[in-house]
Structure 1
Amino acid sequence: MEDERVWSFEKGLWTGDADHYRELVDDECLMVLPQPPFVMSGRQAIEAVAHTPRWSGIEISQEQISRPQEGLIVIAYHAKASRGDEAYQAHCTSTYRRLAHDKWRVVQHQQTPPIVSRPAVEAAG
């Protein structure tokens, strides 16, 4: 899969409906997300997406693509998603596995929101 299609595929996971998500995420996928239950299977994620409003917009930056072997694509990026007045940011990774010619499925996905640094508290002395 060429780079442009990889990013289109990934954006579709953020904005597509539940049927689209179900088509692209493997049942054996493992995900780590920043909300309970935090670690979930592909089946659990597909079920969760069916009951969650989809993002209306997604901006992807800091794109990285690795192809460690034939039929395997690993990506990392920064996402800025929005829907209505809600905004969300995370550093993400996804891994795609090719099942057949031109048929790919997500087998791993992870999201880490940016860590907010807190000011150091000075010790009273």
Structure 2
Amino acid sequence: MDDQRVWAFEESLWTADADHYRESIDDECLMVLPQPPFVMSGAQAIEAVAATPRWSSVELSGRQIARPEEGLIVVAYHAKATKGDETYEAHCTSTYRRRAHEDWLVVQHQQTPPLTAAVEA
């Protein structure tokens, strides 16, 4: 999957409908999200995210892609998503694995909102 397709796919996970989301997430996916229960797996992760309202737009910045081996893609980025007056920001990672030619699924996703307090060194 080329870089442009990777980023289009990642953006679609924020904005597309719940059916697209269910088709794109592996049954064994692990997710860490900033709300309870925080760590989710499999169908629990799929349904938790599919049940949330989709964002109307998302900006992905600080984009990085790694391809540690054939059939595995890891992305990291900062997301700024909006719907109406609501805005959400997080630092994110996703990992995709290829099942077949041009058939990729998310096997890991994590979101960390920006820190709200200064960190002392």
Query: What amino acid maps onto 2:34 in structure 1?
Result: P
Q: 1:119 to 1:8 in 2, by over 3 A?
A: closer
Name which one, 1 or 2, has greater alpha-carbon Rg: 1
**Separation in structure 2 between the aligned mates of residue 44 and residue 16 of structure 1, nearest angstrom:** 19
The two structures have a TM-score, normalised by structure 2, of 0.95
Q: 1:88 to 1:105 in 2, by over 3 A?
A: same
**Separation in structure 2 between the aligned mates of residue 119 and residue 62 of structure 1, nearest angstrom:** 21
**Separation in structure 2 between the aligned mates of residue 87 and residue 32 of structure 1, nearest angstrom:** 19
Deviation at 1:46, TM superposition (A): 1.7
RMSD (CA atoms): 1.4
| Secondary structure at 1:115 match in 2 | coil
For structure 1, list consecutive stretches of 5 or more residues without a partner in the other structure.
Answer: 121-125
Q: After the TM superposition, which parts of structure 1 deviate over 3 Å for at least 4 consecutive aligned residues?
A: none
Residue in structure 1 matched with residue 113 of structure 2 by the alignment: 113
Residue in structure 1 matched with residue 73 of structure 2 by the alignment: 73
Residue in structure 1 matched with residue 102 of structure 2 by the alignment: 102
**Separation in structure 1 between the aligned mates of residue 36 and residue 12 of structure 2, nearest angstrom:** 23
Deviation at 1:49, TM superposition (A): 2.8
